[in-house]
Chains A and B, each alone.
Chain A
Amino acid sequence: GENVEQHPSTLSVQEGDSAVIKCTYSDSASNYFPWYKQELGKRPQLIIDIRSNVGEKKDQRIAVTLNKTAKHFSLHITETQPEDSAVYFCAARGGANNLFFGTGTRLTVIP
């Protein structure tokens, strides 16, 4: 099955700086890569996703890049704000239609 690895596990940035989280996947058949933000005790919220026919996607301060050849994708958050502090999960979905999640990154934005 799919194996998704995510780095770093924790990330602290100053307010206004950028944050980058990276993920790799193993199944070349995976074609959908969402990113979720999860606050403590709450449901994961989809913040952005990218499909395998696209290399980059941007939504305001959030962007995701995908390198299918290398099988890695990244989340970029610019101009970080304290409310961006949360745990972020990458995920990959392939032929089995199941979502497999990375191990999560705890992002702390320091005011």
Chain B
Amino acid sequence: GAVVSQHPSRVICKSGTSVKIECRSLDFQATTMFWYRQFPKQSLMLMATSNEGSKATYEQGVEKDKFLINHASLTLSTLTVTSAHPEDSSFYICSARENRGNQPQHFGDGTRLSIL
């Protein structure tokens, strides 16, 4: 079945560091991938939609210069949290959907980001 791989699974770093998270679709092609953020005991909030070969679409309130998204191929999207601060600490989850037909959305294992 469709598998989405995300890494790293856990990042702990100092304030001001930039952190890159990778999301790969392992056995299917995904023109579009999605990045979500989830705070403790809360729902998944869509941050941005990553489009292969073009600019990402950001949801209202999400700073595009803060959360850089690159979708360089049909199987890889990256999210870079630039100059991360403690308030950026969260669980970041990517998701992808197969290009063909109306397919379900599959999630990566998530990245727990802790900024000290």
A contacts, CB < 8 Å to B:
32, 34, 36, 41-46, 49, 51, 89, 93, 97-104
A104/B43 in contact, CB under 8 A:
yes
Chain B count of residues within 8 A CB distance of the other chain: 20
Within the complex, which residue of B43, B106, B109 is in contact with A89, where a contact is CB–CB below 8 Å? B43
Given contacts A32-B102, A34-B104, A46-B104, contact A98 B46 (CB under 8 A): yes
Contact (Cβ within 8 A) B46 A100? yes
Known contacts A32-B102, A44-B93, A49-B104; A101/B109 CB under 8 A: no
Chain A-chain B contacts (Cβ-Cβ < 8 Å), number: 45
> CA–CA, A44 to B32, complex, Å?
18
Given contacts A101-B43, A101-B45, 6 further A-B contacts (CB under 8 A): A34-B105, A43-B93, A43-B107, A43-B109, A101-B44, A103-B42
B-to-A contact residues, CB < 8 Å: 32, 34, 42-46, 49, 91, 93, 95, 102, 104-110, 112
Whether the pair B44, A44 counts as a contact (CB closer than 8 A) is: yes
Q: Which residues of A contact B104 (CB under 8 A)?
A: 34, 46, 49
Contact of B95 among A41, A99, A102, A104 (CB under 8 A): A99
CA distance A87 to B47 in the complex (A): 21
Contacts of B95 in A (CB 8 A): 99
| A42-B110, A51-B102, A98-B34 as given contacts; A103 in contact with B49, CB under 8 Å | no
Note all chain A residues with C-beta closer than 8 A to B110. Answer: 41-43
Which residues in B have their C-beta under 8 angstroms from that of A34?
Answer: 104-105
Give the nearest-CB partner of B110 in chain A. A43
Does the CB pair B42–A46 fall under 8 Å? no
Interface centre among B34, B49, B104, B106 (most CB of A within 10 A): B104
